[in-house]
Chains A and B, each alone.
Chain A
Amino acid sequence: MNPARYCVILCLFGAAFICCAVKGCRLAGPDRARIIARGEKIARVWRQLPAKRGRILDKKGKILVWSELYWDLHYNSSGESELSEDEQHALIELFGKIDFSVSPSTPLRRHLKPDELIALEPLLLKGAPLRIVVRHERLVCDSEAVRALAGKVELRNNVQSGISGWELENELLLRGIPGRYSILLDRFGNYMPKSFKMAVSPSDGKDLQLTEDLEEIEKKFKKEEK
């Protein structure tokens, strides 16, 4: 045993430990913000939170057209991972027959009910490659005249935009401003818990109050139809 030579090895160890400490110190201090920003770029995704479109009311304040909030179940966007047999089994148990061959843009299940959302939570927290997409659907009261005159909306980037009738004519008033939120996704494209950040809250569209009531609208419509 040569003590001098052993001390050479100890010196090398010491130098290596100092290098590690210095690098660790840099990562915790001066370089931290830059590196975290780089990581956020990799993992943080920005998504839109749709604003609720304004309602259309008649002169008396009766709601003719309105939006309802729905939750749909989709595959997550990465497409890298597939549902395991257990996960498929859990979904079948929850919803009955389900078509697993759909693309990520098509919902696996539409209009999830609150109890279904609660039942899905454990599966999502376990990292199943699924996501829940929030969507507003436009509904019209039971009136042929209103259905014809109100026009239609189209979903563009998850935002309802009027394409005909009152919806198009009053687009600026009815359309709200969608919000923006961000989440971190893991390497499999799954949501990382506790990473939600709301950047801009959505501001809902304003209601449109018509100058005629429902009866007058229907009468006018029938007359025009004749």
Chain B
Amino acid sequence: MKISLRGIIIFSMILLSFFGLLTILSSQSETDSPYYLVMRQLISFGAALFLMFLCSALPFSFFRKKALLLSGISLLAVLILPLLGTRINGMCGWFRYGSFSLQPTEIAKAFFLLGLVVLLKRFNKESLCFGAGLSYTLLWIAAIVIQPDFGTSFIYFAVFLSLIFVSGLRWRWLLGTIIPAAGAAVCFIYTHPYALKRLKAFLEPASSWHLQQLELASARGGWFGSKIGHALWSNAYLPLPYNDSAYATLTETIGFTGALLVLLLFVLLLAALSILALRRDLTQESRLFAAGAAIIIGVQTLLHIGVNLSLLPPTGLTLPLISYGGSSLTGCGILLGIVLSAAKNKEK
């Protein structure tokens, strides 16, 4: 039986989303209406699947031609958030209409990547490629930092850094970006007391209430987890158990064995995307887009899981395909849909 990369990507996406529904159900088991968020996520899952198949049906040349337009519209949506958006948990990152809300930075990830890939391949001169890519990324990061959403802006920056690395640009460009960025990160930590507090708490885990609760939830799951819908600790102690603490909730529900299966599914998804990125018969842009998609999903997944296992200081990032959130899920659907489209875009 021949298993196609397309099949692996779709299979991983569906199975991971299923684990997401399970996580949300467990995180809501002690509430008044345990199925409310599950039903909403199920609708978002339908939308994500539809968008994934729609994007995969369109030719990659369409996305390449419209890259800057799509990226421009998304950037505009992110830019007007401080004026028209709704503030939730101190972050002005959502458009809200009744019970429907939309987080543009989640959906825009695919279009940001598309724009960046096109810019990095547009110019022959290396300095021009780097300059255009850097200006473009900084514009996006500035728009996201205003909200302020430092976790997502870090993902955008990591994607830029990784793409200039894999696209073969010389080391000096990379170092010329990393050194000022590291300086900016240090300044940021020292000028934002909450960031410094989080870092100190991470360095002294015994004093970090949040990290202790995350560890506890995972430990309670043991090897095989508590009963489904019986994630006692996640319900009672974890902040946003269906979102920022989704992996810990999942581990408490299905134990280390189940959580390892989820990790392996992510590895499978990243492996499929990486095989596409390394395929010589695809165009450079397609390969770079597949690599970028793997980096977005990989970095965000590892940051989320790292935080939930107390290996990293809290960042507030969601787990792709698993955490509750329609924007995040449909954003992933669009991203994977464009990758599937890129997989058909062979070198002539």
- Residues on A lying within 8 angstroms of B by beta carbon are 1-3, 5-6, 8-10, 13, 16-17, 19-21, 23-25, 27-29, 31-32, 35-36, 38-39, 42-43, 126-127, 184, 186-187, 190, 192-195
Contact = CB atoms under 8 A, between A and B. Distances in A.
Given A2-B166, A192-B236, A28 B263 contact: no
B30 A193 contact: yes
A39 B233 contact: yes
Given A1-B291, A28-B222, A9 B162 contact: yes
Contact of A32 (B165, B168, B222, B284): B222
A14 to B, nearest CB: 8
Majority SS of interface residues in chain A? helix
Contacts of B165: 2, 5, 8-9
8 contacts: A1-B166, A1-B168, A6-B291, A9-B166, A20-B311, A21-B260, A35-B216, A43-B236
Interface in B292-318: 295, 298, 302, 305-306, 309-311
Contact of A24 (B220, B251, B291, B298): B251
A6 B305 CA distance: 22
Contacts, number: 113
A211 B104 CA distance: 85
A20 B305 contact: yes
**Range of interface residues on B (Cβ < 8 Å):** 35 or more
Contact of B284 (A1, A5, A23): A1
B277 A6 contact: yes
Contacts of B305: 20
B333 interface: no
Given A20-B305, A28-B223, A6 B232 contact: no
Q: Which 8 A-B pairs have the closest CB atoms?
A: A186-B236, A28-B256, A2-B168, A35-B219, A39-B216, A23-B309, A27-B218, A6-B166
Given A1-B291, A9-B165, A9-B166, A17 B219 contact: no
A172 to B, nearest CB: 41
Contacts of A43: 236-237
A17 B302 contact: yes
Contacts of B106: none
A95 to B, nearest CB: 22
A175 B165 CA distance: 78
Nearest to A188: B236
Contact of B221 (A21, A28, A194, A195): A28
Contacts of B270: 10, 13
Contacts of B298: 13
A2 B212 CA distance: 41
Nearest to A24: B256
Contacts of A126: 32
Interface in B186-241: 212-213, 215-216, 218-223, 230, 232-233, 235-237
A39 B309 CA distance: 15
B255 interface: yes
Contact of B215 (A27, A29, A186, A190): A27
